[in-house]
Chain A
C-alpha cells in the first residue's frame, strides 16, 4: 500500500485501503507516545507551518505535538496576530509563507474549500485541519482508529451521527470515511440541521432519537455550532435538549459494546448528558490520544510522498 497524493484535503480522495494504510501507520506511531523519550528523528529538517484561522484547542495542540514527536520544525500562526488583520488575503499569505520553503502546511479555515484552494498555490503538502462546514479528514481518521482498536472491522457496524450535521465538517468526513468502510450510518438532527445532498446508499435518516440509537455500535455526538449561527435553525436550546440530547436512558438502548464519540468541544448537558461524558461508554479522551498518532501518520505519509517525488 502506498499513498500517492501531495495533500490530505478530503476523505473522499481516500480509498478504503488508503484509510487502512493511514490507520496501520498511526498504530505504529502511537507507540512512540508511550515511550519514555517521546520523539523519533524521522522528520528532522522538515518545516511544517500551522495556520489556524479559527480557534482550536485539540486539533492545533495535537498537530503541534505530532510534529514535535517526529522532530519536524514547526511554527504556528494565529491569525489574530498575523498580517491577515492588516488585510492580507489568504492567497498572499500562503505565497509569502511558500517563499520560506516549508514542507507542509496544516490549515484550519472558516471557509469551506480553503485547504483545497491553498494546495494549488504551494508545492508543500497541505493537510486540511478543518475547512468551514466541509471536511475534517484527520478527525475522521482518528475516529476510525478509535473504533478499530475495539471492533475488528467497521463493516456492518451501526454508526449513529446525531446533532448539527449540516454545519459539521466532522460529520461530513465521518460519513464518507465510515461508509467507505461499509458501516451503516444513521443520521439524526432537527430537520433544519440535516444535510442536503448526501446520497450514499448506506446512509439513512432516523425518525427519532430512539431509532438512531437503538442497537447502535457507535454513537457520534455533535455540538450545536454557535459560531456558525446554528441557533437560528432551532427554536430553543431547551427544546433541543429535550429531543436531541443523548441521555443515559437512551444510551441503554444501544448495543452492549457501544462506543460514544464526540469530536469536542462538548457542550455538557446540551447534546450529551454530563453523566455520560465520564462514564465507561465514552471514548472522548481516547480520540484525543489517537489524534496525535493519526496526525503523525499523515505528516509522515505525505512528506514521504514529497521526498519520493523529489528524487524522481
Chain B
C-alpha cells in the first residue's frame, strides 16, 4: 500500500504544540478534569496532554482509557481484543477531556461517550482530536483539533507522536 507523509517531524511537532496549547489555554479547570484516551490511537496523545498539564499547572490529572468495541453500532465488525477499558476512578461531575488521534465518521466518539456514561455522569465532556479527517456521519464536532486533513473515507491516517521522528501519514 502506498504511504504518503503529510506532515513531517517538524510540522507534526508544531501542530501538536499548538493543539496542546489550545487545550491548556482554554480555561478548563484541570483540578477537576480527567483525561480519557480512546484506544489505541488516543492513548499516546492523552499521555502528552497529561504531561503538559503537569508541567504548566503542576496538576496530576487522572488518566483513563476506553476500548469501545462492545459499544460499536456494528459490534461484530472487529473482534473484541485483549484491549479493555481502564477507568479506575470516579468520573461523576468531572470535566472529561476525551482524546483521539483521528476523527472521521464520529461513530467511535459516539460509542466512547456511551461507554463513559456507563461509568458515571460527567459534568462535561470535551473532545480533543489531533487530526480531523472530515466525513462526519454524526453531528459530532471536536472542541479542539490539531489539523484538518482532506482524505478519502478509505484512506487511513496514521499518526505517530511518540517516536523520535514524529509524523502523520496517509495510507
Contacts and interface: CB of A to CB of B under 8 A. Distances in A.
The answer to whether A and B come from one shared complex is yes
B118 A39 contact: yes
Contacts of A39: 118
Interface stretch (A30-38, A173-181, A207-215, A220-228): A30-38
A43 B68 CA distance: 14
B57 interface: no
Contacts of B114: 41
Nearest to A39: B118
Interface string B31-49: 0000000000000000000
Interface string A26-68: 0110011001110111110000000000000000000000000
Contacts of A40: 70-71, 115, 118
Interface in B94-118: 114-115, 118
B79 A2 contact: yes
Contacts of B79: 2, 304
Interface residues of A, number: 20
B123 interface: no
A136 B57 CA distance: 58
Contacts of B71: 40-42
A303 interface: yes
A18 to B, nearest CB: 13
Nearest to A44: B75
A28 B119 CA distance: 16
* Most chain A beta-carbon neighbours within 10 Å: one of B75, B84, B114: B75
A307 B76 contact: yes
A92 interface: no
Interface of B is mostly: loop
A300 interface: yes
A42 B115 CA distance: 11
A180 to B, nearest CB: 21
Interface residues of B, number: 15
A199 B86 CA distance: 45
B92 to A, nearest CB: 10
Interface string B61-94: 0000000001100011001111011000000000
A303 B80 CA distance: 13
A42 B75 contact: yes
Contacts of B115: 40
A308 interface: yes
A300 B118 contact: no
Contact of A36 (B80, B85, B120): B120
A25 interface: yes
B59 to A, nearest CB: 26
Nearest to A1: B79
B118 A36 contact: yes
A304 B82 contact: no
A24 B82 contact: yes
Contacts of B75: 41-43, 304
B79 to A, nearest CB: 7
Contact of B80 (A28, A37, A41, A308): A28
Contacts of B80: 25, 28, 300
25 contacts: A24-B82, A27-B82, A28-B84, A31-B85, A32-B70, A35-B118, A36-B118, A36-B119, A37-B118, A37-B119, A39-B118, A40-B70, A40-B71, A40-B115, A40-B118, A41-B70, A41-B71, A41-B75, A41-B114, A42-B70, A42-B71, A42-B75, A304-B76, A304-B79, A307-B76
Interface of A: 2, 24-25, 27-28, 31-32, 35-37, 39-43, 300, 303-304, 307-308
A-B pairs with lowest CB-CB distance, top 6: A40-B70, A37-B118, A307-B76, A304-B76, A42-B70, A42-B75
